[in-house]
Structure 1
Amino acid sequence: MHSGQLARLAGVTVRALRHYHQVGVLAEPDRRSNGYREYDVHDLIRVLRIKRLASLGIPLHRMPDLLDDTKNDAGELLDELDAELATRIEHLARQRDIIARIRDSDAAPDLPPELAPFLAGFAAGLSPELAKFDRDQAVLLAHLAGEDQLPHITRFYKRLSNPDLASAVADISERFGRLGPDSTEQDIAELIDSVAINFTSVIEELAASDPPLDISATADIFAEYATDLLNEQQRRTLEKLERRLNESRAT
C-alpha cells in the first residue's frame, strides 16, 4: 500500500507519517519503481501502536524503546507519565476554580484572580477612565509585588471592600474622578483629608505586613502610568497624598 492508503487505514495524515520517519519511530520503506513508498501490514500495525502510545501522552522520542521492547518493561515510564498527568490535573483544577471565582464575581478574566472580585465592586459608578485606571493599576501591582506579597495586597483590597468602608471608597473615587481644571486647592485638600480619615489605618496595616510590602523600586512605572492617564489636578492630589502619608508614618 502507498502512504495515502496507510494513512487512511490508520487514521493519521500523510504528514504524520513523514514526521514518524523523521524522528525515527517508523522505518522508511523502499520505494517502488514509480517513486511511491511501499508499506505493508506490519507498518500499519506499527503506526497503530504509535497512535496508542501517543494517546497516553508518550512523546515520540520515547517510543522506539517501547515499540521494540519484547519484555513490556515500561513501568518507569508509565510512573513518570502518571505523575505528569497528576500535576496537569491539579493545574487544571486550579484553573477551573479561578474561572469559577471570576464568573461568580462578574469580573474581567484578564485581571489577577485574587483581586478581581474586589475590583468588580470598585468599578461601579466610576467613569470609564477611572475604572480603567483601577484595573490597570491592579494588574501592575499584582505583577510587580510578586507571589510572596500578593496576599498582603489582596487583604488590602478585601479590607477596602468591607461594608464599613464601601461608601467612603465610592465617595472618594467619585470626587477624585471629578477633579479637573476647575477644582480648587480646597477641593484637593478636603479630598486628601477624607482619604486620611478613612484609610490611614488600612494603609498602616498594609505597611506593617510581614514581610513588609515594598514596591518602591517600581514607583517610576506607576508614576509614568499616572502621568499618561490622569489630569494635572488628579496627579497633584496623589502626590500630596503620598507626602502626607509619608509624613504620618514618620511621626
Structure 2
Amino acid sequence: MRSGELARLAGVTVRTLRHYHQVGVVAEPDRDSNGYRAYDVHDLVRVLRVRRLAALGVPLERMPGVLDDADGDGRGTVDLLDDLDRELADRMDRIARQREVIARLRDHRAAPDVPPELAPFLAVFAAAGLPADVVRLDRDQSVLLAHFAGEEGMARLARFYERLSGPALFPVVAAVSDAFSRLGPQTTDEEISTFAETFAAALGPEIGGLGLGSEEDPTPDLGDAVEMLGRHTDDVLNPQQRRALQRLAEILEAATAP
C-alpha cells in the first residue's frame, strides 16, 4: 500500500500519518524501488491501534508502552487507564463548573469576559441607561478588581457591588455616574470640588467599607489593583474627571485620618 491508500483505509489524513512517523508511534517503512514507502496490513493495524488509543485520550508519548507490549496482556496499562480515568473526571468537573458560569452569565445577559460573581450587578448598571463610557469603565475596572481580589476577596467585592446596585444606593450611583460622565473642558474647578464632595458624602462610607475587614473576613490585598486602576483611569478619563477623582481621594483620606 502507498501512504494515501493506508491513510484512506485507516480514516486518517496523510499528514496525520506523517505526524505519527515523526513522533515515533508508527515506524516509517522502507521505500521500494520507485522511492515510495510500501505499507502492509501490519502498518494498518498499528495505525488503527493508535487511533483507538487517541480516542481514549492517551497522549502520543505514552502510546509506545501500550503498542509495544510484547505479551499483549495489558499488565502495563493499568496505571495508564487509572490516569486517564482521573483526567476525565477532572475534565468533567471543569466542564460542569464552566457550564455553571455560562448559565449564570446567560441568566443576566452578561458578556462572557466579565467576572461571573459580579455579573448580576454589572447587568443592573448596563440596563439602567447609564452613559456608555461609564458602563465600559465599570466593566473594565471590575475585571481588574476581581483579578486582584482573588478567590479570598471575591465575596467581599461581590457584597460591595450588591450594595451599590441595590435599591437603596443605585439611584445615587446612577446620578453620580451621570454627573461624572458630564465632566469636561467646560467644567469649573468649583464644579469639580462640588462633584467630589457630593460623591464622598453619598458613597464614601461604602468605598471606605471595602477596605475594612475582620478576622473572619480579612481584607484582600488590593495594592496592585489600586495602582492598575490608577493607570487605567489616567489613560481613559479626561483631565477634569481625573482631577475630580484626585479631589475625591483627598476628601476620603482626610475623613479617615486620625
TM-score scaled by structure 1?
0.91
Q: Amino acid of the residue matched to residue 31 of structure 1?
A: R
Distance 1:223 1:239 in 2: 10
Using the TM superposition, give the Cα deviation of residue 217 of structure 1 relative to its aligned residue in structure 2, in angstroms.
Answer: 4.1
How far off its partner does 1:185 sit? 4.4
Measure, in 2, the Cα distance between the counterparts of 1:162 and 1:13: 58
The answer to whether the aligner puts 1:244 opposite 2:248 as a matched pair is no
- Paired with 1:37 and 1:206, the residues of 2 have a C-alpha distance of 70
Corresponding residue of 1:56: 56
Encode CA deviations 1:73-114: one digit per residue, 9 max, x unaligned: 211111101111111111111111111111111122122222
Secondary structure of 1:207's partner?
coil
Other-structure match for 1:6: 6
- Look up the match of 1:106: 109
Unaligned runs of 5+ in 1: none
Among 229, 233, 247, the residue aligned to 2:236: 229
2:122 and 2:139 in contact (8 A); partners too: yes
Look up the match of 1:79: 82
Identity %: 55
For residue 28 of structure 2, what is the aligned residue in structure 1?
A: 28
Q: How many residues align?
A: 251
Partner of 1:200 in structure 2? 204
What one-letter code is carried by the residue in structure 2 that aligns with 1:155?
R
Q: Tell me the distance in 2 between the aligned counterparts of 1:167 and 1:221.
A: 28
Which residue identity lines up with residue 80 of structure 2 in the other structure?
L
Instruction: Map 1:121-132; keep pairs closer than 5 Å.
Output: 121-123=124-126, 124-132=128-136
* Gap regions ≥5 residues in structure 2: none
Please report the TM-score for the alignment, with normalisation by the length of structure 2: 0.89
Distance, in Å, in 2 between the alignment partners of 1:202 and 1:220 is 20
Equivalent position of 2:17 in the other structure: 17
The one-letter amino acid paired with 1:117 is P
**Counterpart for residue 161 of structure 1:** 165
Is the contact between residue 152 and residue 220 of structure 2 (CA under 8 Å) also seen in structure 1? no
Note the alpha carbon deviations across 1:98-143, whole angstroms, 9 max, x for none: 1111111112212222222212221332222222222221222222
**2-structure distance, mates of 1:25, 1:185:** 74
